[in-house]
A and B are shown apart, each in its own frame.
Chain A
């Protein structure tokens, strides 16, 4: 099994787990946190293996950081929305 095959399996698994979490009785903001973490992980897999950034450490690190910041922004807005 190649890294690309594993990436597709990982994406399918994360998508399935995301749906399970969304349907579960887990309450906000925990369910939202998990859903956003899974979305971040899926985007990361696409950058690494579909867009072939696995072997480009400088860009890999920068994109990981940027994607993480963006996910935190979304999570922050989501949490504020659940508190009001």
Chain B
């Protein structure tokens, strides 16, 4: 019995789905705690949020969903998979460059973990997510090299998980 049939039709590796749900649970709990803390200091959180760069983060959303699109296309077109996966990884690099600019902006404003609870969660959640982007870039480049369909599917699934986390993280931290 393959892992796919064991999970009643879930596409790809069962363990990757376990990872996807685990990561979503961890980030989801972080976001829920962030919003719960906001209840006790709405003005402080609102003021802290003005130091963020939502336009830059918005651009990063487009970068990441386009990168995810390329990773998904790589599963559909094996003959072009290598180029598509490298393209997806390069967009991941663009995401990290923009994220680095965003962190530099905070450093310039002398904003640290200890400035406010808002920034503690901002650095923790977006930093942890950026670490996943970095890992995802490595995985995409690795599966681009092997060109094995099952590996490409697993690598792309990890990348979509990174995409999903950002889709939930962006509105809660930058926009609400």
Seen from chain A, the residues whose Cβ lies within 8 Å of a Cβ on chain B are 2, 4, 7-8, 11-12, 15, 18-19, 22, 32, 35-36, 38-39, 42-43, 46-47, 49-53, 55-56, 58-59, 70, 73-74, 77-78, 80-82, 84
Does more than half of chain A's interface fall in helix, strand or loop, or is it mixed?
helix
Write the chain A residue with the least CB distance to B66: A8
Task: Let me know if B113 is at the binding interface, CB within 8 A.
Answer: no
Selected contact of B176 from candidates A2, A7, A32, A55, CB within 8 Å = A32
Interface contact B65-A74, CB-CB below 8 Å: no
User: Could you name 5 residue pairs across A and B whose Cβ atoms are closer than 8 Å?
Assistant: A4-B69, A7-B69, A46-B160, A51-B157, A74-B32
**If the complex has contacts A12-B65, A36-B171, are A50 and B32 also in contact, measured as CB distance less than 8 A?**
no
User: Nearest 7 pairs between A and B by C-beta?
Assistant: A77-B35, A8-B69, A11-B65, A22-B175, A52-B11, A50-B160, A81-B38
Interface contact B10-A56, CB-CB below 8 Å: yes
Bound Cα distance from A2 to B89, whole angstroms: 23
Selected contact of A46 from candidates B11, B76, B167, CB within 8 Å = B167
Most chain A CB within a 10 A radius of its CB, from B36, B170, B176? B176
Write the chain B residue with the least CB distance to A76: B35
**If the complex has contacts A43-B167, A56-B9, A80-B39, are A35 and B176 also in contact, measured as CB distance less than 8 A?**
yes
Interface contact B31-A51, CB-CB below 8 Å: no
Selected contact of A43 from candidates B39, B76, B164, B175, CB within 8 Å = B164
Instruction: Give chain B interface residues in 1-47, CB to chain A under 8 Å.
Output: 7-12, 20, 28, 31-32, 35-36, 38-39, 42, 45
> With a CB–CB cut-off of 8 A, which chain B residues contact A70?
28
Bound Cα distance from A74 to B175, whole angstroms: 13
Selected contact of A59 from candidates B8, B73, B157, B160, CB within 8 Å = B8
Interface contact B11-A56, CB-CB below 8 Å: yes
Bound Cα distance from A46 to B69, whole angstroms: 9
> With a CB–CB cut-off of 8 A, which chain A residues contact B65?
8, 11-12, 15, 42, 46
Task: Let me know if B168 is at the binding interface, CB within 8 A.
Answer: yes
